[in-house]
Chains A and B, each alone.
Chain A
Amino acid sequence: MNSTDPVVGPQAEQTFFADPALDRLLGMVFSLTAEVQVLRDRLALLEAALAERGALDPAKLDSLVPEGALASQLAASRSAMVRHVLEGLPGRLASKS
């Protein structure tokens, strides 16, 4: 498949660039940006909560290694993030046009 092959049939998402690869790539960029922002939001809340309780020493964060349940949680989060970032790649509609 070359980069200009369209998705065939009624499920084809609208495209706006000469090369539909750009349309799909932008979907990933957009989702990634959202992911980063949501993460920053979470991190800021977490650090604020921990610092408020005197439980966070920011200098120690870098030395922590995730294990057990925390490691599984991060794996699930990673999987959902990958799906989110890449879901625009097939160029399919999510709703009837």
Chain B
Amino acid sequence: MAALTLFRSREANAFQEFIMEARTWWATELFPRLREEYELRKRLAEQEGRQVRTAEDVAQLFERSTTYAYFCWLERHVQKSKYSSSRWGLVAQLAREPDRAAGRLAAAQSGTLEVKDGFKVPEYYAAHDIHQHPGNLHADPFAGLVYEASALSIHPATRRNELHERFVEVVRRERADLRKVLDMGCGFGKSAVPLARAFPQAEVVGVDVSAPCLKLAAADAAAAKVPNLRFCQADARHTGLAPGSFDLVTSTMLLHELPGEAVEATLAETNRLLAPGGISIHLDFRADDPFWQFIMYGHGVRNNEPFLEPLLRMDLAQAYRKAGFEAVRIEPFAEREGATDPSNPFWRFPWAAIIARKPDLRTANPGDLQ
């Protein structure tokens, strides 16, 4: 691994490298032990005539597990230290190097960025510091930089940006003749930039409620000289953009940050914004296996993501159909080669691409609209 250069302070970089290493150990050493313990406990339970069918059954198996307690503790506190260590946490360290942070954001060009005066983030958004990010993603002017730095250690085994490049390939497989693309909840542009690069003929728009993230996205897009990309502060539930004006609407890691009614409103807005025959691809998490449901429900609690479990419990295909979509597919998504292989023993997010089409009523037979 190349040395981190997030900060001027070598000590702060060395600390964040330690955090990444700890996270990697958790994912690649501790998690496989937990999984082995699960298989053993499950076998013993079944020998006693108890079936393990739900996340609640799995929770019972782990009630007195020391391994699980350590697993939880590390998941919670590696993340907490990363953000909030008074010594070299991301928030404290960025505040110590404000000129560097401001310089990074200065490249944002006003022509490619529309931030609205008096914009109010949704109540549910302000109520939680998701990912344990103090102040969440909207309050501090450097919040986008904090989030970007934090994302480095979220996917330890994955090359930086690989997930987003692979997401672009899913898009390309579904539809390559794109003219106008909307990326909802675009954050600091991690997906919007690769999309705009991959489809230079298309106009790409990124929307998010976080002004600090949008500023970083616009600055990076300007620095990377991506001309077909602009950013706009808007709520994915009601963007104010013209109906039927996009042939692709995407998001990555947005839906699980939304309460159920906001998921439904976002899907309805996705449908409204798409042209007839347009495609939606939202990348999020699905978990069918009770062990993974248990792990992910717990992750939501430990990582301050209260809407993760409700999303995983939601009948998404039905919600899509209710929002007016057809041909809904929920496909496992590999963030790196071999990630979805059942023999992969490491912790990972159970990514899924949710792909759906807005019916084209001009060409469809009524019987096709199931």
Are the CB atoms of A38 and B86 closer together than 8 Å? no
Does B77 reach chain A (CB closer than 8 Å)? Answer: yes
Residues 72 to 97 of chain A near chain B (Cβ within 8 Å): 80-81, 83-84, 87-88, 94-97
- Chain B residues lying within 8 Å of A81, measured Cβ to Cβ, are 87
Does A45 reach chain B (CB closer than 8 Å)? Answer: yes
Are the CB atoms of A31 and B85 closer together than 8 Å? yes
- Chain B residues lying within 8 Å of A84, measured Cβ to Cβ, are 85-87
Are the CB atoms of B84 and A80 closer together than 8 Å? no
Are the CB atoms of A94 and B77 closer together than 8 Å? no
CA distance A38 to B89 in the complex (A): 13
CA distance A95 to B306 in the complex (A): 14
- Chain B residues lying within 8 Å of A50, measured Cβ to Cβ, are none
CA distance A58 to B154 in the complex (A): 39
Are the CB atoms of B14 and A14 closer together than 8 Å? no
- Chain A residues lying within 8 Å of B134, measured Cβ to Cβ, are 94-95
Q: Given A38-B14, A84-B86, are A94 and B128 neighbors across the interface (CB < 8 Å)?
A: no
CA distance A79 to B358 in the complex (A): 61
* Nearest residue, chain B, Cβ from A23: B73
Secondary structure type dominating chain A contacts: helix
Tally of contacts, chain A with chain B, CB under 8 A: 80
Q: Mark B12-25, 1 if CB is under 8 A from A, else 0.
A: 00110111001000
Which of B18, B68, B73, B76 interacts with A38 by CB under 8 Å?
A: B18
Residues 61 to 93 of chain B near chain A (Cβ within 8 Å): 68-70, 72-73, 76-78, 80-81, 83-88
CA distance A83 to B129 in the complex (A): 24
Are the CB atoms of B10 and A94 closer together than 8 Å? no
* Nearest residue, chain A, Cβ from B87: A84
CA distance A65 to B349 in the complex (A): 51
Closest approach, in angstroms, between the C-beta of B18 and any C-beta of chain A?
5
Are the CB atoms of B73 and A17 closer together than 8 Å? yes
Which of A14, A33, A88, A95 interacts with B129 by CB under 8 Å?
A: A95
Q: Given A17-B73, A23-B73, are A94 and B80 neighbors across the interface (CB < 8 Å)?
A: yes
Does B304 reach chain A (CB closer than 8 Å)? Answer: yes
Q: Mark A23-46, 1 if CB is under 8 A from B, else 0.
A: 100110011011101100110010
Residues 128 to 158 of chain B near chain A (Cβ within 8 Å): 128-129, 132-136
Are the CB atoms of A94 and B73 closer together than 8 Å? no
CA distance A94 to B132 in the complex (A): 8
Are the CB atoms of A30 and B15 closer together than 8 Å? no
Are the CB atoms of B129 and A38 closer together than 8 Å? no
CA distance A90 to B88 in the complex (A): 19
CA distance A37 to B19 in the complex (A): 11
- Chain B residues lying within 8 Å of A34, measured Cβ to Cβ, are 15, 18-19, 81, 85, 87
26 residue pairs A–B, Cβ–Cβ below 8 Å: A14-B301, A16-B70, A17-B69, A26-B77, A27-B77, A30-B22, A30-B81, A33-B18, A34-B15, A35-B87, A37-B18, A38-B11, A41-B10, A42-B10, A80-B86, A80-B87, A83-B87, A84-B87, A94-B83, A94-B84, A95-B83, A95-B129, A95-B134, A95-B135, A96-B136, A97-B128
Interface residues of A, Cβ cutoff 8 Å to B:
14, 16-17, 23, 26-27, 30-31, 33-35, 37-38, 41-42, 45, 80-81, 83-84, 87-88, 94-97
